Amino acid sequence: MKEITAIIRPDKLEVVKNALQEIKCNGVTVTEVKGRGRQLGVTESYRGRDYKVDLLPKTRLEIIVNDKDADDVIDTILKTAQTGDIGDGKIFISPVEDVVRIRTGERGEKAV
């Protein structure tokens, strides 16, 4: 099992979510986050003074999938969240030791 964490543009959430649903990947946890990448944010100007705004709003998706489905989900996020401009975000993939469905007590791949 894999955990796929994607940091994406907030305005891409809807298309990513819908595309994931089409490949039957329904479970997702969404958080509004702030962050920065290599470019250290953007500059804003108020009343003649420049300010570096170094944390920008982003959206974080957490998705747990079985190993065989991981590449599909990653490809789908990549295709739908990409604009090619600075600030598209990143995807992190990490192994998951176990999963428990609280309602039934099921464990492992059945619980995903």
Binding site for another protein (CB under 8 A): 32, 44-51, 53
Instruction: Rank residues 46 and 95 by Cβ distance to another protein and give the closer one.
Output: 46
Instruction: Rank residues 32 and 106 by Cβ distance to another protein and give the closer one.
Output: 32
Computed on alpha carbons and rounded to an integer, the radius of gyration of the chain in Å comes to 17
The CB-of-30 to another protein minimum distance in angstroms stands at 14
> Is the distance from CB of 45 to CB of 51 less than 8 angstroms?
yes
Distances (CA, A) of 111 to 3, 34, 99: 14, 31, 6
Instruction: Rank residues 23 and 42 by Cβ distance to another protein and give the closer one.
Output: 42
